[in-house]
Amino acid sequence: MKLLNYATSYFAGLLLVVISVWAALFYFNMLDEIYDSMDDGLENQKILVVQKATRDSTVLRQKEFEAGYFSIKEIPFTLAVHRKDRYQDTLMYMQNEQDFEPVRMLTTVFRKEDQYYELRVITSMVEEDDLIEDLLYSLLWLYLGLVGSILVLNNLLLKRIWKPFYHILQRLQSFRLEEAKTVPVQKTNIEEFQLLNQTVEKLLQQNVATYQNQKAFIENASHELQTPLAISLNKLELLAESQPLHEDQLQQIGSVMENLERLTRLNKTLLLLSKIENRQFAQEEPVPLEMLLQKTLLDFEDQLSYKDIAVDLQVQENVSLQMNPDLAAMLVVNLIKNAIVHNVNGGFLRIGLSKQELTVENAGQEAPLDGAKVFTRFYKETSAATSTGLGLSIVKAICDLYGFRVAYGYRQGHTFTVTFQKAVASV
């Protein structure tokens, strides 16, 4: 729910309570006032009737209301004593309405020539249910009117007031660390928003600076490692060539070289990963995947035949992906290399390409891997000494970059599936 509407919903609830309480108070007050004035009227009529009765005794014969607004009845003294004026609501049949309608009746007693009479004066009264109905409708209109005005006010006025806030939200939403460009600040007179703007701006700048530093650090660290690695490796090569060396000495040198080479690969791969994540592969073009798969399989043919792996490439449709060609090659190479390295002798490698996805399935150890960890850096299922544990991280990083989904599953073999649709669209 939007902030503006959230406030409005509270207003609406509060108004409902306030208006209901107000309506009740108003209703009873008004009723009280009406009764008051009716009773005054009845009192006045009583005096008029009594005065008239003293002059004209025919009045005393009006036993029922009939054409008049009063009736008079003789009563014995015993009933007359201690009688006070009594106002009450009652019903009478009204000819015009053809129904019983409420009336206000004053019952009083007066004396004429030692004879007591009971006088009842009536006046037609407001119909309470009609009054309540009318009041309810007017209140409903008032309520709706108020809520409507608040909505309009919120949407016009408050929206304008909160505009800087929404602008900040939009800035934060569109903010990408790696792009390091920020949407310009919108000026505002409201102190809180100015503060918010400043704080957000400072936070973003700090983040960008930290990120840039980190990026530069990783890159520099990797670059700085290259030279000592190069020197060590080349010096060892020179040492290995210097004669004469025993076989076991050569073997030691060879082992050190192997480890240095491994370190070199690790370093290169980390550098590559940070480059992918920093989006340093900008240039894009349509890359036909079938050709890329065939070329990669050709590059690996010696390893495939050495391990006696049966390759099955099924292409339903030759898909071209809009991406950086080097990254596309790295994606395919790492998937296939992974499938070869972790394959068994005489195993299989099944590659399927359709419009939606690329699947690479390979034979391997007969147990599913931990799907949650398989793409994390340095995760190694087997203790393959020369494996960097970064190949699938590269696959993941490239997929993330282009919004592809990559998943691991275990069917007849270990299966890696890259789904080309944007991750959001296909969920």
Q: Measured in whole angstroms, how far is the alpha carbon of residue 200 from the centre of its chain? A: 22
Q: Which of 45, 123, 188, 264 binds other proteins (CB under 8 A)?
A: 264
| 63 near other proteins, rule: CB under 8 A | no
**Strand, coil or helix: 253:** helix
CB of 248 to other proteins, least distance (A): 9
- Per CB under 8 A, contacts with other proteins among 139-158 are none
How is the chain split among helix, strand and coil, in percent rounded to 5? 55, 20, 25
- Asked if residue 37 binds other proteins (CB under 8 A), the reply is no
Tell me if 299 contacts other proteins by CB under 8 A: yes
Q: Which of 306, 354, 368, 411 binds other proteins (CB under 8 A)?
A: 306
113 in contact with other proteins (CB under 8 A): no
CB of 190 within 8 A of CB of 164? yes
Please state at what angle helix 247-277 crosses helix 191-241, rounded to 10 degrees: 160
CA distances from 174 to 202, 274, 381, 399 (A): 16, 22, 39, 21
Least distance (Å) between residue 230 CB and other proteins:
3
Nearby residues of 357 by Cβ (< 8 Å), 6 or more positions away: 417, 418, 419, 420
- One character per residue 326-355, x = contact with other proteins (rule: CB under 8 A): x--x---x---x--xx--------------
Q: Applying CB under 8 A, does 271 fall inside the site for other proteins? A: yes
For other proteins, the binding residues in 349-388 under the rule CB under 8 A are 384, 386-388
3-state SS track over 381-424: CCCCCCCCCCHHHHHHHHHHHHCCEEEEEECCCEEEEEECCCHH
Number of residues forming the site for other proteins (CB under 8 A): 47
Looking at beta carbons only, is 182 or 278 nearer to other proteins? 278
User: Coil, strand or helix: which one is 78?
Assistant: helix
Q: Which is nearer to other proteins, 133 or 237 (CB)?
A: 237
Which of 210/386 has CB closer to other proteins?
A: 386
Cα→Cα distances 391→140, 251, 378, Å: 69, 28, 9
Per-residue mark of binding to other proteins, 202-231 (x: CB under 8 A): ---------------------xx-xx-xxx
How far, CA to CA in Å, does 214 sit from each of 123, 217, 282, 402?
Answer: 92, 5, 20, 23
In whole angstroms, give the CA distance from residue 143 to residue 25. Answer: 16
Contacts of 370 (CB under 8 A, 6+ apart): 379, 381
Q: Does 303 bind other proteins (CB under 8 A)?
A: yes
Least distance to other proteins, CB of residue 240, Å: 5
Check residue 234 for interaction with other proteins (CB under 8 A): yes
239 token code pair: 């040492």
In the bound state with other proteins, the residue whose beta carbon lies nearer, of 14 and 310, is: 310
Q: Does 124 bind other proteins (CB under 8 A)?
A: no
CB of residue 386 to other proteins, shortest distance in Å: 5
Give whole-number Cα distances, 4 to 150, 159, 160, 164, 171, in Å: 10, 8, 11, 14, 20
Nearest CB to other proteins, comparing residues 277 and 299: 299
What is the C-alpha separation between 44 and 56, in angstroms, rounded? Answer: 18
Distance in Å, CB of 370 to other proteins, minimum: 20
Under DSSP, the state recorded for 68 is S
Please, what is the minimum distance in Å from the beta carbon of residue 351 to other proteins?
A: 16
Specify the length of the chain in residues.
427
Q: Which residue among 63, 83, 86, 235 contacts other proteins (CB under 8 A)?
A: 235
Residues making contact with other proteins (CB under 8 A): 223-224, 226-227, 229-231, 233-235, 237-238, 240-241, 247, 250-255, 257-258, 261, 264-265, 268-269, 271, 296, 299, 302-303, 305-307, 326, 329, 333, 337, 340-341, 384, 386-388, 391
